[in-house]
Amino acid sequence: MFMPDAIGFIGLGIMGSPMAANLVKAGFDVAGHTRSRAGLDRLAAAGGRPVTGLAEAVTGADVVITMLPDSPDVEQVILGPDGVLAHARPGTLLIDMSTIRPRTARAVAAAAADRGLRPLDAPVSGGEQGAVEGVLSIMVGGAAADFEAAGPVLSALGTTIVHVGPSGAGQTVKAANQLVVAGTIQLLAEAIVLLEASGVDAHAGLQVLAGGLAGSTVLDRKGAGMLARTFTPGFRSDLHHKDLGIMLDAAREAGAVVPVGALLGQLMAALRAQGDGGLDHTALLLATERMSGRTHD
Amino acid sequence: MFMPDAIGFIGLGIMGSPMAANLVKAGFDVAGHTRSRAGLDRLAAAGGRPVTGLAEAVTGADVVITMLPDSPDVEQVILGPDGVLAHARPGTLLIDMSTIRPRTARAVAAAAADRGLRPLDAPVSGGEQGAVEGVLSIMVGGAAADFEAAGPVLSALGTTIVHVGPSGAGQTVKAANQLVVAGTIQLLAEAIVLLEASGVDAHAGLQVLAGGLAGSTVLDRKGAGMLARTFTPGFRSDLHHKDLGIMLDAAREAGAVVPVGALLGQLMAALRAQGDGGLDHTALLLATERMSGRTHD
Amino acid sequence: MFMPDAIGFIGLGIMGSPMAANLVKAGFDVAGHTRSRAGLDRLAAAGGRPVTGLAEAVTGADVVITMLPDSPDVEQVILGPDGVLAHARPGTLLIDMSTIRPRTARAVAAAAADRGLRPLDAPVSGGEQGAVEGVLSIMVGGAAADFEAAGPVLSALGTTIVHVGPSGAGQTVKAANQLVVAGTIQLLAEAIVLLEASGVDAHAGLQVLAGGLAGSTVLDRKGAGMLARTFTPGFRSDLHHKDLGIMLDAAREAGAVVPVGALLGQLMAALRAQGDGGLDHTALLLATERMSGRTHD
Amino acid sequence: MFMPDAIGFIGLGIMGSPMAANLVKAGFDVAGHTRSRAGLDRLAAAGGRPVTGLAEAVTGADVVITMLPDSPDVEQVILGPDGVLAHARPGTLLIDMSTIRPRTARAVAAAAADRGLRPLDAPVSGGEQGAVEGVLSIMVGGAAADFEAAGPVLSALGTTIVHVGPSGAGQTVKAANQLVVAGTIQLLAEAIVLLEASGVDAHAGLQVLAGGLAGSTVLDRKGAGMLARTFTPGFRSDLHHKDLGIMLDAAREAGAVVPVGALLGQLMAALRAQGDGGLDHTALLLATERMSGRTHD
């Protein structure tokens, strides 16, 4: 039976650092590599082994985890000339937890399988806080046996861990997730603007909505912040803009028509073009207010 | 102190009938009027007093409740030549629980106040089931004192009862509610089509979404039905189409820009134009599948 | 044979004044009524007969023309207690040239026909300049014989005069016209923003578009003004906003799904909410630039 | 002075074949390469020199023209290991007339310039008919001197030939063109559905629109075909779908917000998902009718 012990972790950013720390805490031997000095220092502080070369992290690992910004980064780190595939031994579990295009995930998985690796795409939701607390939702694509084998590792990182289909399926579910989250935010933004422009107490209004069929986790967790115009991330609009691009690309490829999704892509692009890509994604409220000539700036 | 006892109830349809029955059960003397024989019979069976003329229901009542299909019905029943205002005595609480245009609600309230009545607009959400179980959400616009006075009556009908502002504010909140509900359904429809068109297990996918920031009451209560294509209402698309028309009108009047709301209005119109106005509003999934060439019919 | 001579003209605003003047010039006896002193003075200066009461304008007229701002104005002036129907004699041609809801046009026509009048809805396009020069496009709904009879009158006002169907059809065609015009402007706005944001010479770019399948009358007449950001009306956004409301209402009533039309309604509403309802409708470019964070103000 | 004589032409499909034939007719020595036997035969019949290898076509050419389906094809043919850059001599004009992403065009141009070539991106509009008749519109990005040098060649292919900016600018203008064309078609589709669903004579209605501000080249050339539901291409929906993808990608990259453009992308995707990607792009009318429950199939 496969009992993973040595983990190579590539990408120690805002999400990757606390995830690697949780793996250390769970008893794994974690060798971590990233481009920034700060990331390596954080891993050392957490009790892991920072290494300066990717090869050092990957060679001899039972499990390699990648947590990178975007599709091209994953392609380069895994498929590149001195990348993961060049150093990992056959049988290694390769778990890419980045949010990337489903088709890139499928291409990476095919190349990894060719080398005898066991690839999983396992993007997460839950944000920095979920990463720190080890309560991420993890949607996993790949072979059932590999999902099984990854259980002890993923359990150290999240609480909702679901196998959703073959390679790429995890990324497709993540894309669907980002569609629904962006849309729910925008619906609340339009509701708030409608209430406030009509002279109605939006706080009381949202309270009623929360108690009925209009209720949502976004409203529960983010409604008060939206009313207070507190847009400290949380999850940056820039990243959600990237994710909506992935979602639209996946829909295009699959022949799925997503009219609201396409409009959301433009609204998030507007927020970004207006200079607010660094704000929390709930700042879609700002873009909606600007459209309505109701500016607070 | 105002202790309401005699209630005149106009409009004993799918919603009005169980609401009137709950008022009887709570000990009120309910005289009910409606155009259909069946509605009058239901009230009699519930222990209320069916009356054949509107005047009989209204004359002498402490509280008059109207529960009617649309704005023109409310205008006619309340403002019409032989309507509520012609028969109600000064001081009567006039509670319109229909879903109508905020501006009609304001006009009705102004006319009622001119006659010395105490008007409230108090639309509900929660559907037939909520009406039967007496657990409706009620969003109330009007004077604070009148809201206070209506407490014993409204408590017999719902569990979430919130004063959201002056006359018309209840209708505005209801409009916002219907925007958010329709939008959440459509987002799930697009997510399901994206997942299924990509060959991903939509059941597992929605399970992950439900556990994270993408979670919603619509998903909890209606997600399984959508996956099973069970579109028995519930809440008919035709009615939601009407409500989105009210919402768009309110947004137009208030100067609120609601791009996703406008698109939802078209998608619900499409469902209706395709002959499915009688299905549950979750049938937005059908319209979305038809756009994607994925028809089950 | 019907040879119209005496014309009662109600509504001497920006459009009505030059239209009445053209009728005078064509040899008709024009008695004109409007609420503003300035309008009456303009008619006198043009050689017409200003009258202070609607009854004076209508009584004895062979043809009554109304040119009013919106549906409620037309309902009041024609159907109201002391309105056109109360004073016009049977057989009078009643030509409403206002832009109003098709269903209002049908209701007005039905009431007029009941009184023995011959109603036509005959909205125009071409703007103030077209009115002054007598080169309006006129789209006419009503009976074929009445359209025939109105020929000599309408020929004094426009050059393209088409009978498009029964009562209300003229308004429906006008609604379709306003949909296409607003949309063409918005498409050019998006094209310009795309070109300029990409560092491309928009002037040269539009020149190519104009020469191919992307060419349009809007581009020919308004393209240079848009590039120069000259937004002097022309046709005010406020009015186009009103017209899109009519179009969306007509589509809703007919069961026509118009997704781009609905989005245009919101974009025009945005321009208005941003305080630019007084600018030419080509200022949709401004709203589009604001969405893209490219503001010139 | 640069007097081009020998032309290597890569890509002899529906567009490339008649273009190459026109170059032969203009007196150039055209060596053409393509993957299909039929394409080579067509060139031979037109008096050109079909060659079986790309290298043969390129080696010794003064001008290399590429006319290929999509961005990856252009990348492979120009940048690939045995591609154009590997065989063309310094100073050669490299004119890519394919419709591809502006950023791919810029990347290709940079690589070509590095090898001492003179790159132009020169996509066309006008369709097969325009190619056959030599009346294409050509929008050209690149250095002014290179545009100048390409004059004799491009003049054999088109009549509107405009230099719109640096490398990539031609593709951006083409993207804008495809946005406006798709949008104009969709506006007419919505107008037709609105007219017909309202019982109005759409033929007469469009006639009025054509004469006023709503007029367009699409209406002039394609309006009758739309009313007759003649959807023989012309320009296939599949290709326009590809082009709208390029447009949305370019807008995303430039930070231009194009809400109507994004919706058009979905509507064209719907038409394609419904199995009609092989029809003329005016079949957007079909997708719009299906949304409105007005199907002819």
Residue carrying the six token digits 């439900």:
B210
Sign of the dihedral defined by the CA atoms of residues B228, B232, B234, B237, in that order: positive
| Closest residue of chain A to B194, computed from CA coordinates | A256
Residue carrying the six token digits 């009007």:
B142
Helix A259-271 to helix B169-197 angle (10° resolution) is: 110
The pLDDT assigned to D1 comes to: 60
CB A265 within 8 A of CB A244: yes
The pLDDT assigned to C137 comes to: 94
CB B39 within 8 A of CB B64: no
Provide the mean pLDDT of chain C: 96
CB B171 within 8 A of CB B100: yes
Element holding D63 (H helix, E strand):
strand D63-66
∠ CA B71-B76-B82, nearest 5°, is: 160
Q: What does residue B231 show for φ and ψ, rounded to 5 degrees?
A: -115, 30
Provide the mean pLDDT of chain B: 96
Chain D nearest CA to C159, separation (Å): 10
- Looking at chain C, the domain(s) classified CATH 1.10.1040.10 span 173-291
B249-254: list long-range contacts, CB under 8 Å, 24+ apart.
B249/B101, B249/B103, B250/A194, B250/A198, B250/B101, B250/B102, B250/B103, B250/B171, B250/B172, B250/B175, B251/A190, B251/A194, B251/A197, B251/B175, B251/C269, B252/C245, B252/C269, B253/A198, B253/B102, B253/B103, B254/A194, B254/A197, B254/A198, B254/B172
One-character DSSP codes across C189-241: HHHHHHHHHTT--HHHHHHHHHHSTT-BHHHHHHHHHHHTT----SSBHHHHH
Choose the CATH number for A6-166 among 3.40.50.300, 3.90.550.10, 3.40.50.720, 3.10.129.10: 3.40.50.720
Element holding D92 (H helix, E strand):
none
**Mean pLDDT, range B2-18, rounded to an integer:** 93
Question: What ipTM score was computed for the predicted complex, to two decimals?
Answer: 0.96
| Closest residue of chain C to B273, computed from CA coordinates | C255
Interface-testing mutation among D192, D194, D221, with chain C (most C C-beta atoms within 10 A): D194
Say which of A218, A253, A258 has its CB closest to residue B213.
A218
CA distance C147 to C227: 41
Chain A nearest CA to B159, separation (Å): 10
Say which of A266, A275, A292 has its CB closest to residue C293.
A275
Say which of B258, B269, B270 has its CB closest to residue C266.
B258
Q: Where are the beta strands (DSSP E) in chain A?
A: 6-10, 29-33, 49-50, 63-66, 93-96, 118-121, 124-125, 136-142, 158-165
Which amino acid is residue B24, in one-letter code? Answer: V
**B144 in contact with A, Cβ within 8 Å:** no
∠ CA B13-B19-B22, nearest 5°, is: 140
Q: What does residue B232 show for φ and ψ, rounded to 5 degrees?
A: -70, 130
The pLDDT assigned to B108 comes to: 98
The pLDDT assigned to C296 comes to: 62
**Mean pLDDT, range B126-154, rounded to an integer:** 96
Interface-testing mutation among A194, A198, A274, with chain C (most C C-beta atoms within 10 A): A274
**Mean pLDDT, range B272-279, rounded to an integer:** 98
Residues in chain C: 297
The pLDDT assigned to A234 comes to: 87
| Torsion-angle region of B257 (φ positive above 0: left; ψ -120 to 50: alpha; else: beta) | beta
- Residue (of B270, B276, B272) closest to B288 by Cα position: B270
Question: Contact A273/D255, CB-based, under 8 Å?
Answer: yes
CB D265 within 8 A of CB D245: yes
The pLDDT assigned to B297 comes to: 53
| A-B C-beta contacts closer than 8 Å | 260
| Closest residue of chain B to C268, computed from CA coordinates | B257
- Looking at chain D, the domain(s) classified CATH 3.40.50.720 span 6-166
Q: What does residue D157 show for φ and ψ, rounded to 5 degrees?
A: -110, -30
Q: Which residues 152-191 of A are in CB contact (within 8 Å) with C?
A: none
CA distance B24 to B18: 10
Residue carrying the six token digits 């059932």:
A144
Question: Contact B270/D259, CB-based, under 8 Å?
Answer: no
The pLDDT assigned to D146 comes to: 98
CA distance C190 to D257: 7
The pTM of this model reads 0.96
Interface-testing mutation among B252, B274, B276, B288, with chain C (most C C-beta atoms within 10 A): B252
**C274 in contact with A, Cβ within 8 Å:** yes
The pLDDT assigned to A127 comes to: 87
Judging contacts by C-beta atoms under 8 Å, the chain A residues touching residue D269 are 251-252, 255, 257
Chain C nearest CA to D278, separation (Å): 20
CA distance D49 to B282: 62
Q: Which residues 202-261 of A are in CB contact (within 8 Å) with C?
A: 259
Going by pLDDT thresholds of 50, 70 and 90, the confidence category of residue B3 is confident
Which amino acid is residue C230, in one-letter code? Answer: T
Give me the CATH topology for the region B173-291: N-(1-d-carboxylethyl)-l-norvaline Dehydrogenase; domain 2 (1.10.1040)
CB C286 within 8 A of CB C231: yes
Q: Provide the percentage of residues in chain B whose pLDDT is more than 90.
A: 95
Chain D nearest CA to A27, separation (Å): 44
Which amino acid is residue A279, in one-letter code? Answer: L
The pLDDT assigned to A179 comes to: 98
Chain C nearest CA to B119, separation (Å): 27
CA distance C109 to C106: 5
CA distance B161 to B158: 7
Q: What does residue B224 show for φ and ψ, rounded to 5 degrees?
A: -65, -40
CA distance A271 to A290: 10
Residue carrying the six token digits 């070369």:
A53
Q: What does residue B120 show for φ and ψ, rounded to 5 degrees?
A: -135, 140
Using the predicted structure, report yes or no on whether residue B296 has a pLDDT greater than 80. Answer: no
Q: Which residues contact B38 (CB under 8 A, 6 or more apart)?
A: none
Say which of A141, A164, A187 has its CB closest to residue B260.
A187
User: pLDDT tens track of chain A, all 297 residues?
Assistant: 677 899 999 999 999 999 999 999 999 999 999 999 999 999 999 999 999 999 999 999 999 999 999 999 999 999 999 999 999 999 999 999 999 999 999 999 999 999 999 999 999 999 899 999 999 999 999 999 999 999 999 999 999 999 999 999 999 999 999 999 999 999 999 999 999 999 999 999 999 999 999 999 999 999 999 999 999 998 999 999 999 999 999 999 999 999 999 999 999 999 999 999 999 999 999 999 999 999 865
C222 an active-site residue? no
For chain D of 297 residues, list the mean pLDDT of each consecutive stretch of 10. Answer: 87 96 98 96 97 95 97 96 96 98 98 98 93 96 98 97 97 98 98 97 96 95 97 95 98 98 98 98 98 83
Which amino acid is residue D133, in one-letter code? Answer: E
**B275 in contact with D, Cβ within 8 Å:** yes
Using the predicted structure, report yes or no on whether residue C231 has a pLDDT greater than 70. Answer: yes
Judging contacts by C-beta atoms under 8 Å, the chain D residues touching residue C218 are 213, 216
Chains adjacent to D (≥3 CB pairs closer than 8 angstroms)? A, B, C
Q: Which two tokens stand for residue C119?
A: 């109603």
Q: Which two tokens stand for residue B89?
A: 């005595």
Judging contacts by C-beta atoms under 8 Å, the chain D residues touching residue B274 are 291, 293
What is the per-residue pLDDT across A107-128, written as a single tens digit (0 to 9) for each? Answer: 999 999 999 999 999 999 998 9
- Residue (of D260, A244, D139) closest to C191 by Cα position: D260
